[in-house]
Structure 1
């Protein structure tokens, strides 16, 4: 029997009532108080997530910029020091190795944040394509990551630091921020559709900071949140999850994140030709939002039909806690992807009616 990996916060899960599951080989909390309550807390107040399972890789050296330009789909030349960029590793055929965040420390120093289940695969991929003048190091084991998300995230976190958090803009970060006396990297990227911060710190300080945040945030309604709410929150905002909306067989263009694919940048990158062809000629498939007309909840991998033709499948689906509707994301043949198109989802052997609707399902209100 394989032993599940654990984050530095595992020892306090029980104290906060966590129910854990096997998530890609990790023993992680799916919920604390309940997925619906946690989802609501993030949309209206604030939630705290343990995302220490995510992978972190440092890339250093005089050729670090060139190397990452060749490896990733976005244009790194647009990135300033202190800024983060969403990007993708692709295979030569345009399929997705992983989606990731790149933090620029300096022209010759970057931090990559990658998906937990892909950390070993991604690191091997990076090693396979390594060039002279670049060093890479997997610092995941010594790094913890907490995410505080929701409209009150800034005011709660501000209680523990003298750094002006309002000065950290969207997709920006600051290093060596002292939070409750702990040196942290603080960024503002989010994966919930809400405002919020990611806090990177030494793994041995994670419990101290987790406890303190929940202590100072309690009066504002801050609650610990698990993977269940993280999934419903990111799904409503149409943020892709690797293994569902993205995979070796799904390109970033098909998944609707073509904004992170710059096919005309100066440096050729892996997958460029295939992705350029998809951008110019249209990808064969498209990710769309669907809403059930008949009663039933669409789930991952349920087949989608028009008439007798299977045109694709559901990638993620649930009852949206915010909308109180049964909705899903589906990857289908592009010619059927127009909003308003009716189709059928096969749920437990029955074909049930659904309609293509605009996405994202949720956008946070303008402040």
Structure 2
């Protein structure tokens, strides 16, 4: 239970001004609306308290004007069986009949529309015209077919903002952005004000799509800690660390052949043990032929073991290659979150436009 003082207008105003780093709330249209200010401030305080982290995806406040929509309380919505029947079943409700959206975000938007029916004739006429245009042009089928490969971009972008995005969120976002040129091409010739507005709101995200295509593995693992999230070729240092951890044996074979050839010692061997690490082994009888740059590492009864700068460098790399590879991958992953964070507002508008387009195509 929240204490009453948290719902005070002055407290709410201070909370909002501090969060959005503003001097007044006139830009949100609530500067002279104490009840709205109190409610928004209390809600923001609750979210900050429960999430315990930065909330960069919260960038604005939108006023819902009562006269713009039909207001229904919970009891009315329940008795109308908009999305749930009185007995708790979701079948044969208004939403169940109307909902043929193909994306989760489209389904959520349709539910919101049903729970808050608009009174604004101009908006409704534009939606009806958009649906008619989709039907007449046959573009509704093209949109729905394209959207079958579209993930829940809205939820993904929220996780990006909260820096809790999972590897497969990146691949889903990448694949979604790759669909945009096709969707834009479908909408471009359509003569509908609303569809053209949505076309503009999709925006251009070629650079972001290219970044994700080049940076994210085709089929990344579920968790970052599993490794293999960042695509090969994106970062030279990461590629080298991976090569060291997976191709260590081949490196040692190649090194052994090179050292035999350069030293003229045919019996020279390169090996490894857990106590002393990597070594070059030469028999006692051949030890005097050891090159000057060899440093003695261990003396055995019948052999001498040496180390070189090259082998020591390799040892330092390969023994920690897996750990350093994961660390490097995490650093690159954080960089991707930073890059996406800087494009978040445009991506959110794009996801919102895709959601509405999904609903309009479902109506068609």
Q: Shorter chain as normaliser: what TM range?
A: under 0.3
Q: In terms of Rg, which structure is larger?
A: 2
TM-score scaled by length of structure 2: 0.27
TM-score scaled by length of structure 1: 0.27
In proportion to residue count, which structure has more helix? 2
